[in-house]
């Protein structure tokens, strides 16, 4: 999964990034100055920021995917409210995908520098 010395972690799967960020946040949450601890152990702050960003982006994309795939039309529901519900979901999906698409190029380059998987952004978002 990764090498944790000196911020030299290399991840092969975005799920590993999510687990690592959770572990990192849990272990550092009780500290007053997370940045000072990272500096002490020679962990680059930019890498931690990129890990947080990647984990959040992936989690957000999975949440959108789950919401879209769990949507069910109820034929007993009146047409007007059903259409409003569908439109709200479509707008939420469109907004989320557009946000990730806008930051994809810069994020992809930054993630590659820090050896954070990017395939999840490239294959999930089809515009």
Helical packing angle, 45-70 and 79-113, nearest 10°: 150
- In terms of Cα–Cα distance, which of 57, 48, 64, 69 is closest to 118? 57
pTM of the predicted protein model: 0.66
Q: How many domains are contained in the chain?
A: 1
C-alpha 80/C-alpha 118 separation (Å) is: 40
C-alpha 86/C-alpha 82 separation (Å) is: 6
Tell me the per-residue pLDDT of 65-111, one tens digit each, with 9 for 90 and over.
898 889 888 889 899 998 999 999 999 989 988 888 888 888 998 99
Check whether 40 has a pLDDT greater than 70: no
User: Domain limits at 83?
Assistant: 5-124
The radius of gyration of the chain from alpha carbons, rounded to an integer in Å, stands at 18
C-alpha 96/C-alpha 11 separation (Å) is: 25
Given this model, what pLDDT does residue 6 score? 40
How many Cα atoms are found within 13 Å in the side-chain-facing hemisphere of 11?
26
Q: What are phi and psi of 102, to 5 degrees?
A: -65, -35
Range of lowest pLDDT (32-36, 46-50, 71-75, 123-127): 123-127
């Amino acid at each position: 999964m990764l090498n944790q010395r000196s911020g030299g972690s290399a991840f092969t799967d975005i799920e590993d990034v999510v687990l690592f960020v959770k572990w990192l946040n849990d272990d550092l949450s009780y500290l007053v100055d997370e940045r000072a601890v990272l500096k002490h152990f020679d962990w680059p702050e930019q890498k931690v920021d990129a890990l947080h960003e990647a984990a959040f982006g992936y989690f957000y994309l999975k949440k959108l995917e789950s919401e879209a795939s769990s949507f069910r039309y109820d034929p007993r529901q009146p047409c007007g409210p059903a259409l409003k519900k569908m439109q709200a979901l479509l707008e939420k999906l469109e907004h989320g995908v557009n946000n990730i698409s806008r930051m994809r190029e810069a994020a992809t380059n930054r993630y590659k520098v820090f050896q954070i998987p990017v395939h999840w952004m490239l294959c999930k978002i089809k515009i």
